[in-house]
Copies of this chain bind each other. A is one copy, B any other.
Amino acid sequence: MRIVVPAGGTGGARFVRGLLAALAEAGEPADVTVVGNTGDDITLWGLRVCPDLDTVTYTLAGAIDEAKGWGRPDETFTVRDELAGYGVLPTWFGLGDRDLATHLTRTSLLASGATLSEATATIAARWGLPGLGVTLLPMSDSPVETHVLVQHPDDPAGAPPRLVHFQEYWVGLRAAPRALDVVAVGAEQARPAPGVLEAVAAADVVLLPPSNPVVSIGTVLAVPGVRAALEASAAPVVGVAPLVGGAVVRGMADRLLPALGVEVDAGAVALHYGASLLDGWLVDTSDVHAVAPVEQAGIACRAVPLLMTDVPATARIAAEALRLAEAVRA
């Protein structure tokens, strides 16, 4: 069973880890293509940083800081602390020393002419992803950078809102200013990375993990051709609501959905994706109110426990998603 999973960072990575556990439990060989969001990518300290790709890689390799959900465990921040002494490079996005090796390697590969796909494959191979049955593809080899329109707190009163890089909004400003709009800069000119459309066309199932629907899945869908390929695919597309009980479990999707005029509600996110994309949708048992309106829109909907508290719980969610995919296929 060929499974394609467009994914963001922590939520997407944990969902894929659960999916692999569910497949193993079912005695099903894993053949999972993860199409990773690269809209959060940023060039920092002269290095190309791809937070979501790395979170997927580290998580699947068991090399993630579980508490934080990103970065390496037992991480040190010697380089960042020393950089602060110079005051030349920004330290609000604190890259760890272990993690830094990944960015140095990727940046050197890119500088020597490799595409982001090739660099990602090299990094994924070092962490054993192929052996897990996982192919990690960036959504695109062209740079796409998500920007958020905000009234910047550093600007004088009366200054017009301006676009800031997603990481500056998310990490630097801690998502405090109201997001007025979200723009995937470069998306219109981007093309899907090699293998993305092919994987979608050959997929038996497409699963949308509970990643941020605006800046993770939304950015993958913003790459021209990706959404159309998913809509055209014969494979059922089943999504997992990123909201539980009308609130985010982690991340800050609730700060971004309003910028797109979408209600912070599990059902509203399904309707935002739309019936042209989704065949099935899982909401949490606390969001059972959402089942009827989602089904009314032509999307099969089930209410099941959606808290990814640990790998077994996440595996049960992934198994439910696969079960719903089989149901809508039939």
Q: Which residues of A contact B (CB under 8 A)?
A: 45-47, 76, 78-79, 82-83, 85-89, 97-98, 100-102, 104-105, 107-109, 111, 122-123, 126
Q: A46-B111, A108-B46, A108-B89 are in contact. Are A101 and B123 (CB under 8 A)?
A: no
Q: A86-B122, A101-B83 are in contact. Are A107 and B46 (CB under 8 A)?
A: yes
Q: Which residue of chain B lies nearest to A96 when distances are taken between CB atoms in the complex?
A: B78
A87 to B102, CA, bound (A): 11
Does more than half of chain A's interface fall in helix, strand or loop, or is it mixed?
helix
Neighbouring B residues of A76 by C-beta, 8 Å: 76, 78, 97
Task: Report how many copies the assembly holds.
Answer: 2
Among A47, A82, A111, max chain B CB count under 10 A is at: A82
Neighbouring B residues of A88 by C-beta, 8 Å: 105, 108-109, 122
Q: Which residue of chain B lies nearest to A80 when distances are taken between CB atoms in the complex?
A: B101
Q: Is the CB of B111 within 8 A of A85?
A: no
Which 3 interchain pairs have the tightest Cβ spacing? A82-B101, A78-B97, A86-B105
- The listed residue (B79, B85, B87) touching A97 by CB distance below 8 A is B79
Neighbouring B residues of A102 by C-beta, 8 Å: 82, 86
Neighbouring B residues of A47 by C-beta, 8 Å: 46
Neighbouring B residues of A98 by C-beta, 8 Å: 78-79, 82
